Amino acid sequence: MGLGMMDCWGWTLAVDLPESEIFYVWQQATPEAKAIIVVLAIFSIFAWSVMATKAIQMRRAKRLNHLFSLEFRAQSSVTNIHDRHVHVDGCPLFSVYQEGCKELAGRRRLLADNPSPSTLRLSLKSMEHVKRALERAVAEQSLQLESGLILLAIAVSGAPFLGLLGTVWGVMSTFSYVGMKGHADLATMAPGVAAALITTVAGLLVAIPSMFGYNYLVHHLRVLTVELDNFAQELVSRMENEFLAGDD
């Protein structure tokens, strides 16, 4: 469709405003291709939701871990924070610390209930139970941070194949239509092929952002997991210095 436009010199310019390519290709797409594109759009919505949610969660966890680490190292006793009944939501280091202190307190109560020991110093065997509790807590926190990333992995690996399926299906339908008409020309084949290729484009539009988001989140997940492991080792060392008996 041509529209007249007047420039600053008084010349009239004819500008063609073609129909939207995306809208035209969508009209030419087969019902199967449209269904695949709708599925990919749903995948994209979930993928972006996961990326935003996990990015916010990991950023908050990193900030809270830093603050808790500073507070923990400033304490004279390893159980000071636990004894004050402090609670910090969304902090993986605090969750690991809580589990370790609960196990430590339970082992010390067992010693207090037993009249034979004269002190509340823990044996090496009791400290091993504390270490295992910390290992379980680290694993649980890592799983919580990792939850939801499987959806991004599915989007990265599955979306291109769904798009390819739609393309192959659309090309097959196009050639079948050409065969039924008995002759092939550009006007007959071009709309069908273009409509078939749009599913591949949709698949890549889902997979590419998901791939970058997945790699970004996995990197930060590894950093947080290493922080958890290091903190657990530091916590065990301080507990052993304070509460481990000199001999079994």
Q: What is the structure's pLDDT at 85? A: 84
pLDDT at 117 over 50: no
Centre a 10 Å sphere on the Cβ of residue 116 and count the other Cβ atoms it contains.
5
pLDDT at 150 over 80: yes
Residue 114 tokens, joined: 């037993």
pLDDT band at residue 158, thresholds of 50, 70 and 90?
very high
| Stretch among 6-10, 41-45, 210-214 having the lowest mean pLDDT | 6-10
Q: What is the structure's pLDDT at 190? A: 72
pLDDT at 30 over 90: no
pLDDT at 186 over 90: no
Burial class (CB in 10 A: 0-12, 13-18, 19+), 6: exposed
What percentage of the chain carries pLDDT values higher than 90? 43
Q: What is the structure's pLDDT at 248? A: 43
Q: Give the predicted TM-score (pTM) of the model.
A: 0.76
Residue 163 tokens, joined: 């798009």
Tell me the C-alpha distance between 76 and 78, whole Å.
Answer: 7
Strand, coil or helix: 191: helix
Question: Nearest 5°: phi and psi at 201?
Answer: -60, -45
Tell me the C-alpha distance between 100 and 105, whole Å.
Answer: 9
Beta strands in the chain (DSSP E): 2-6, 12-16
CA angle at residue 19 from 16 to 21, to 5 degrees? 120
Of 155, 164, 173, give the one whose Cα is nearest residue 197: 164
Residue 149 tokens, joined: 């990333």
Average pLDDT, the chain: 81
| Stretch among 6-10, 84-88, 95-99, 216-220 having the lowest mean pLDDT | 6-10
Tell me the C-alpha distance between 188 and 177, whole Å.
Answer: 9
**Buried b / exposed e across 171-183, counting CB within 10 Å, b at 16+?**
bebbeeeeeeeee
Looking at per-residue confidence, does 185 or 154 come out higher?
Answer: 154
Q: What is the structure's pLDDT at 183? A: 66
Q: What is the structure's pLDDT at 245? A: 67
**Taking residues 78-97, what's their average pLDDT?**
89
Q: What is the structure's pLDDT at 113? A: 52
User: DSSP alpha helices (H): ranges in 147-185?
Assistant: 149-181
Distance spanning both ends of the chain, measured CA to CA: 92
Cα dihedral 201, 202, 205, 210, rounded to 10, equals -130
